[in-house]
A and B are shown apart, each in its own frame.
Chain A
Amino acid sequence: MRMRRRSVLAATLAIGLGVAGCGIPDETEVRVDGPGPSPGFASAGGVGDAPPVRESAGSREQFVQNFLLTAAGEPRETYKRVRGYLAPAVQDEFKESQEEPPVNLVRVRSTTVTDDTNGASTATLQVDQVGVLDGDGRVNPPVLTATSYTIGIGQVEGKSGWFVTAPPNVLLLNVSALDSNPLVGYYEPQTIYFWNLERTALVPDLRYMPRAVPPEGQPTEILDRLLGGPSDLLQPAVRRLPAGTKRTGTVPDTGDRLEISLSAEAGAPDYDPADLGRQLMWSLPPSLRKDLEVKVEGQPPRVITMDQAYLDANQVRPFSETPERFAILEGKIYRLKSSPNGGQDSLPSLLSDAVNHDVAFASLASGSGVTAAALVVTRGQGRQLIVGANGGDRPRSFTPVGPENQSIGRPVWLKAPLDTGLVVVQGKLYRFGLDGGGLTQVGLPGIPGAVSAVSAAPDGRRLAVVAGGRLWVAVLGRDDRSVEVLAVRGVTTTLQQLTEVAWSGEGQLTVVGLRAGKSTIGTVTIDSVADADLSYELGGGAVTYLVGAPSPGSVEGNRIMFAAGGKGYDAQGPEPIIQADEIVDGPSNAQPAVAPFFMN
């Protein structure tokens, strides 16, 4: 009996062992399914866009110039590049770090290299402080005031070339590194966009993108910049993304769209991820612009296409096509042939013959279904501002605004929404509106001197003001009854005694001033970085009048019209001077056209 029990046990054990061996094993051999995907290839971008290395200098002067460019490019590599220039003895003063250090932009006026004893040299730099470039590509106003730096130059035994033996105690970058010309600079100026506080339009923010960032990486970098917030100037006037929003992935191009992954904070109740999508879409360089898929944690993905809402988000958009051009001839407004359709369209119905006479300056704007006109008309010895509008919920026949005054300047309209205009009267800035009120003065805190010219950016939140011969950029807070200057920033330019200003790009102003006592038209970016003269044959006359029309997505532009020596000029016309045959239906043998303007 015992034996039988034992054999039963053995049989059970045999089955048990057999079956136990056939569960999921603890470890298996590696099994191969087939070949994996083949490795990818990098695009051609980003190569050769690094600043010159130490060894490439042929002279001490060039070495100093090169050293002032080393901070350019990929910001996280800045320390590394700068250390490459430093003599071993002083390298320890620069700790390697992956932080993005603020870089002080300077405009170098002169460089002098003097020989010291023992074969070393000292370079003395005379500079103007331009601003501070940070890791997000913003140029904020300068924090340093020094105008002179010395740099010790020497050689290290056993190594070729020069070394910096006594570096300045701050990171300096020659502002030429930000030149938009790829042969000169290492950055591409870009505008990224933030929504205004009312979420009615996007406000451009000027940034600089290192050329070292490949096109594939730019959407991610731009998203990071959007998440990083606007530049100091725009802070009070635009919305930041919901606090705490982070990207949870990069922004890859999946072929027909870009994918954006954001943390759950982006789904804040008062924030529409579509807004972020349109904001990002506009912020992308046009070559990379495509449909977006926005994925916010905890929400279904949303696809943002280039629809009407996207187009409407940027008030500059109408200028992307040929802007409508007008000119005033013998007190009457005419279309120019360079308008769309050769200017054959009739004038806006607002400008009936009843009002279209004795016009000195005019400003036309359309937006949100409203067309508004502000005309400065001659009344005897003085001038009078009359304002009219049609369309929308506030149609208004032309009525005078404010008193008659000899020195009323050219009015400008603020868009988004199109309900407010600004005009300079006797050196002061006044607001007028479509609401029927009179002129109310707009305070300009921080801007000294009499205002001589004003130009509003198409976004309706930025203003360029020339006051006391200097240029300022201000951001505005608005409601339908008032305008308030929230922040201002001075713009430095090499032109003197400025008189006129106009927005010619999203981040660029065209100004009129004196260079060597001669009236000159020049451009300057609103962060004072790029400064250039435009050369026009003006016949010795001073430029007395200037308007511009920016292109969307473009930092710079040259769509300007101006008047000098009693003649109207169109920078993009067949000839600079607006000829009589460019006036549509104009009277024969008339005076030259004056005060040309764009429909804003």
Chain B
Amino acid sequence: MTLSAPSASALGKASALGKRALAAARAGWRAASQRGAALAAPAHLTWRRSLHFRVVTITLVASSLLVGGFSYLVATQSTNILLRGTESGVKSQLHDDVEYAANQLSVYDQQYDPDIQVTLNQTATYLSGGGPEQGGMVALTAVELPNLKTAAPLGVDVSPLIGDDLEEQVAVRGQVAKQIRTADLGGGSTKYLVYGSRVPTSFGQVELYRIAPLTNEDQVANQIRTMVLFTGVALVVLLGVLAALVTRLVVNPVRVAARTAQRLSAGLLDQRMAVNGEDDLAQLAAAFNQMATNLQRQIVRLEEMSRLQRRFTSDVSHELRTPLTTVRMAADLIFAGRDDFDPAVARSAELLQAELDRFESLLTDLLEISRFDAGFAMLDAEPTDLVPVVRRVVDRLAGVADRAGVTIDLNLPDTPVIAEVDPRRVERVLRNLVGNAVEHSEGKPVRVTLGVDESAVAMTVRDHGVGLKPGEEKLVFNRFWRADPSRARQTGGTGLGLSISLEDARLHGGWLEAWGAPGQGAQFRLTLPVRAGDRLTSSPLRLVPQAEVTA
């Protein structure tokens, strides 16, 4: 198919217009969907959170659909019945009208007889009787006879009521046909049933249309519709209210149970639900209360046991200290005079001295731990420059490092790093970390870094020893945990150092974290707030070393 130039350009214009319209429609849809999404978001949230809302919404939607469908059926059926009745009445009237008109027109056999128009008018007026608003009216047309004008009573213009389709069916195809149309014939816009038939005459074809106003039928249909509508809405609202009430009956105890459970989990172990009646909900409450009681009993028992254990540890430590002091004094005496003993005894005196040192530091750590457990640990925070603290720790461990053949690199800022910390505890933590690093570095250098930003200070201690296996980052802080139990007694640590360090960091409101990988060593990071009591959000230094990340 080929298009001529103007039609092609017209088509082009049309397609451009079409595209623009499509784009506009898309934009509109996008805007609408965004708006919808914005509106739907809180609805979605409520939907997820509220069982009550879900049940009521589902009830409303389901009952709306059901009632809507039913209402539609009732209203449609009743309207149809009304219309059918009217139609059959108008049809039989049309039959009589056609007979009358055919009789009236049977006296003519020439279409140019001027009396035909008069008779058409008279017939239309006679058959119309009460007029268009009462019993309807009759119009006579002669489509194929141009000399005859449409006859309607009182000169009413019926052309808006007789559509082309109806005219085609009646005048051209000779059918009896009907149509409902709306028009204003002077008394306001009214619906009309237009029924048409051909009138047999001797001079040509005349068509007769009976035009019946549907005012009453429309009123009745509207009344039915309004009634059905109100009934439907009332039913839906009633169902919604019912659903809301029923759900409330069920959901309220569940909510109470949820609140109670929340309080229980927050530690308020004496919270209980009220038990009303003997129904399912009452059983739920009773069972819940029973569960809460059992839990409370267990928790109290465990707390008591834990308290006794800690107390026992503390007491044992204190009780051991006194005989230990005596043993110590005796041992010091023996150790001082070892040169006088034979070599085997002298060696034993040295061993005794060393193990007593170890025993003493173990007791000290145990006491420190039990102080943390008992909640007696107090933070003695003061503004402290951390650079000298780091240097001091490294200096003190220099001997140990030398013995181990390990160099300690320092990476410290040039300016003082002031933070509100307890210098004794920070120093103990650092000492533990650096000591550990030296101990596990297997002769490779250890690097200590100090970093600071507006809210936090951080220290990392990096070694390149055996490293940590996956999962061991947390275990390292457990009491008496050792990476390799076979080496337990080789080093002089008590096995409590990192535990105490973690408690110290927590006491500051800070973090103590570990990173490690097998064969790549480990890094520990201590992060502390610059001002005591502040919450930490980030650390100035990375936990995982940069080289490992890029690797």
Contacts and interface: CB of A to CB of B under 8 A. Distances in A.
Contacts of B69: 18
A250 B175 contact: no
Interface string B196-223: 0111111101000000001001100110
B201 A11 contact: no
B126 A248 contact: yes
Given A12-B236, A32-B169, A216 B79 contact: no
Given A12-B233, A18-B68, A216 B181 contact: no
Given A4-B53, A24-B218, A249-B126, A15 B232 contact: yes
Interface stretch (A252-260, A505-513, A547-555): A252-260
Interface string B84-115: 00000001000000100011111111101111
A37 interface: yes
B71 interface: yes
B465 interface: no
Interface stretch (B55-63, B332-340, B445-453): B55-63
Contact of B236 (A15, A20, A21, A77): A15
Interface size class, chain B? 35 or more
A252 B43 CA distance: 77
A30 B71 contact: no
B75 interface: yes
B108 A249 contact: no
Interface in B101-144: 102-110, 112-115, 119, 122-123, 125-126
7 contacts: A3-B46, A23-B79, A23-B222, A26-B181, A33-B175, A77-B112, A250-B119
Interface in B222-258: 222, 225, 228-229, 232-233, 236-237, 240
A35 B106 contact: no
B202 A15 contact: no
Q: Is the interface of B mostly helix, strand, loop or mixed?
A: helix
**Which 9 residue pairs across A and B have the least CB separation, nearest first?**
A252-B103, A42-B202, A11-B64, A42-B109, A40-B200, A36-B198, A22-B76, A18-B68, A33-B176
A21 to B, nearest CB: 7
A27 interface: yes
A248 B122 contact: yes
Given A25-B180, A37-B197, A7 B218 contact: no
A16 B42 CA distance: 26
B123 A37 contact: no
A381 interface: no
Contacts of A254: 103
Contacts of B170: 36
Nearest to B228: A19
B236 A32 contact: no
B178 interface: yes
A214 B233 CA distance: 68
A22 B107 contact: no
Interface residues of A, number: 56
A536 interface: no
Contact of B108 (A36, A216, A259): A216
B67 interface: yes
Contacts of B202: 40-43, 214, 216
B64 to A, nearest CB: 4
B184 to A, nearest CB: 12
Contacts of B29: none
B262 interface: no
B545 to A, nearest CB: 52
Given A19-B232, A32-B169, A37-B197, A45 B102 contact: no
A15 B165 contact: no
Interface string A256-289: 0001010000000000000000000000000000
B71 A45 contact: no
Nearest to B233: A12
A34 interface: yes
